[in-house]
Amino acid sequence: MSAIRFFHMADLHLDSPFKGLFGLPEHILKEIRSSTFDAFDKIIQRAIQEQPDFLLIVGDIYDGENRSLQAQRRFQDAMEKLFQHNIPVIISYGNHDHLKGTWTRFALPSNVYELPSETSVVQLKIRGQQVRIYGFSYSERHLKKSVIETYPIAQDPHAIHIGMLHGSEASDTSHALYAPFTKQQLLEKNYHYWALGHIHKRQLLHQNPPIVYPGNIQSRHRKEQGIKGFYDVTLSQAACELDFIPTSAIVYSTIEVDCTDVVHANELLKRCEEAIAANRTTLGASVVELHLKNIDEQTEALFEHATVDAWLETIREAEEGLEPMCWVQKMVLQKSSIYYEHSASTQSVVSLMEQWDSNDWKDILKDLYQYAGGARLIEPLTEKDMKNLTHSAQALLAEEIQRA
């Protein structure tokens, strides 16, 4: 039995806007905006170069209603290219590109199999090896019910069985549940490979048979940190070889800068620049958050006369024009804890804040969150947000008290 080779990718989110960025200069914005396309182009080029037997795209090619015509056309062009190289592509649409969408649909060439909303099987014969690929496409935006039951249990012992599923594990509460499944349910199907999508973080749920989230191909906000890409899979009945191929055109990362013994401004700048340069070499073009660590009172003095934003601006200026580009999105000061002492009064304020539960928070912030005009535009308040808010509020309090 010969091994087959395919690319497994998901969550392309082509031309999707980047969240959490502002104040970018035009050229960087442009580079960031084209990064999903760049990442996708890398995949297509590699496919043409490597000639895998087929490609699996497990949902979320576009970014929902926000899909642009350009994105669709780029995708169509890419499929045409693969068509010319005779590489089949199997697509199962996800929650962001479900079948009910009113958007214009571009006709795709005949090498592309678009899975219907009913779970079905695509059969391929590759060098004599029968390959069965199971999957479905989202018929609507929200698919809360489990669909794993509709996947047949693998029967043919000679064929290679691959499941495509865009959804999340039932136990994973950090994401909205879509087509939930459990690991056990997947394993019961006796497939050789589970190609999952939807979760943007690369994960290997199970080793053998592999149950894989390849992650998205390009991160789109600061929470999606690290190098993104897809899996180049070589699969046979007996074995599976996973090769992660990075595609990120721009990497989000956090850089920690040790500020021990930094007294002068140029020292601080030098540390930051060195840290960014190191980041640039390892990750290439990137959007970074600078976390300044080990700031003692000496270093702190640097920030007494210039705000953090002013420092950020200075660092950005220093990075301006360097290639590959590096956009410093944020600068966070991590001060030594011993420095500030809460007084009893502030302590009580602080402890009060710590006692707040989500209802308290909602109550406190209700002015805004109940504001009819902005409801849609304001991100819902999460637990994490509250935690962050608590921290920043404490920090602010401390800072203000200190200043007074």
Partner 1 sequence: MLTIKKIQIYGFGKHENLTISLNEGVTIFYGLNEAGKTTIQQFILQMLFGFPTRQQTQRKYEPKASTKFGGQLTLLHPIHGQCIIERVKGKAAGDVTVYLEDGTTGQDELLAKLLYGYSRASFESIFSFSLHELQGIEKMSEEELTHLLLASGTTGIQHLSALEKKMDKEANELFKKTGKVPVINQKIEQLKQLERTIKLEQGKIQTFEDKLQQLQLLEQNLENLYAIQKLQQQQWLQLTVQKQALPLIKQQQTLQQTLVNYQHVQFPPEGLRRYEQLKDRLLHESQQLMQLKEQYQSLQNKVLATVDEQTVNEMGRLMQKEAIWHQLTVKEQNLRDDLFMLEQEIDAQFRLLGVQEKEAQEILLGETVSLQQEQQFQHQLKKLEDAEEELKFHLRSLEQVHHELDAITQQKQRLKRESLTKEEEHILAQWPQQKRRLEQLRAAKSQRTKQKQPDIFFWMVLFIGLLSFAYGIFQKNVAVAVIGAVLTMLTILLMRFVRQATETPNKEQSHLFRQLEQEETTVQSIFLKKERLEDRWLHVNEQQSEKEQQYTKLEYKIQQAELESEEASQSLQHYLKRYRLQGTIARTLMPELFMRIRGVQELAVKRKGNSSLLQETQDEKKSLYEQLQQVLDGTFNEHEIYVYLRTAYLEAQQQQQRVQQTKDQLADIERNLQGGQTRMDRYTTEMTQLLNEAQVQNEQAYYERYEQFEQQRKITTELQTVQAQLASLNFPHDKHLIEDSVIEDMRVLEQEQDSLQLEIDRCLEQRAALQIEKEQLLNDEKYGKLLQQFEQEKSELQQLIEHWATKKAVATAIHETLFRLREEKLPHVLLKVNAIFRLLTGGRYDQLVIHDEGYFVAQDVAGFRYQMVELSQATKEQAYIALRMALAQTLTTSAPFPIIMDDPFVHFDRNRTDKMVQLMKEVGYEHQILYFTCHDAMLKHWPKEKIIDVGALANERGVAST
Q: Is 374 in the site for partner 1 (CB under 8 A)?
A: yes
Q: Following DSSP, what letter does each residue of 226-257 receive, concatenated?
A: B--EEEEEEE-SS-EEEEEEE--SSEEEEEEE
* Sign (positive or negative) of CA dihedral 95, 96, 98, 100: positive
Bond into 88 cis (ω within 30):
no
Q: Which residues, in sequence order, are CB contacts of 140 under 8 Å at separation 6+?
A: 98, 99, 100
Q: Is 333 in the site for partner 1 (CB under 8 A)?
A: no
Q: Is 120 in the site for partner 1 (CB under 8 A)?
A: no
Q: How far is the CB of 226 from partner 1 (least distance, A)?
A: 20
Angle 86-91-92 from CA coordinates, rounded to 5°: 165
CB 56 within 8 A of CB 164: yes
Q: How far is the CB of 55 from partner 1 (least distance, A)?
A: 24
Q: Going along 64-201, which residue ranges are E strands?
A: 89-92, 112-114, 120-126, 129-135, 160-166, 193-197
Q: Is 342 in the site for partner 1 (CB under 8 A)?
A: yes
CB 196 within 8 A of CB 166: yes
> What crossing angle do the helices spanning 344-355 and 383-403 adopt, rounded to 10°?
170
Q: Is 255 in the site for partner 1 (CB under 8 A)?
A: no
The residue count for binding partner 1 (CB under 8 A) is: 58
Of residues 10 through 49, those in contact with partner 1 by CB under 8 A are 15-24, 29, 32-33
Site string for partner 1, 291-320 (x = CB under 8 A): ------x-----------------------
Q: How far is the CB of 267 from partner 1 (least distance, A)?
A: 20
Q: How far is the CB of 358 from partner 1 (least distance, A)?
A: 13
Q: Which of the stretches 60-68, 151-159, 194-202, 258-266 binds partner 1 when contact is defined by CB under 8 A?
A: 60-68
Of 238 and 338, nearer to partner 1 (C-beta) is 338
Q: Is 383 in the site for partner 1 (CB under 8 A)?
A: no
Residue 10 tokens, joined: 């998901």
Of 241 and 400, nearer to partner 1 (C-beta) is 400
- Using CA atoms, how far residue 139 sits from 119, 168, 171, in Å, is 11, 17, 23
**Cα 372 from Cα 400, distance rounded (Å):** 32
Q: How far is the CB of 75 from partner 1 (least distance, A)?
A: 12
* Binding region for partner 1 (CB under 8 A): 15-24, 29, 32-33, 65-66, 68-71, 73, 102-104, 297, 338, 341-350, 352-353, 361, 364-365, 367-368, 371, 373-374, 377-379, 388-390, 392-393, 396-397, 400-401, 404
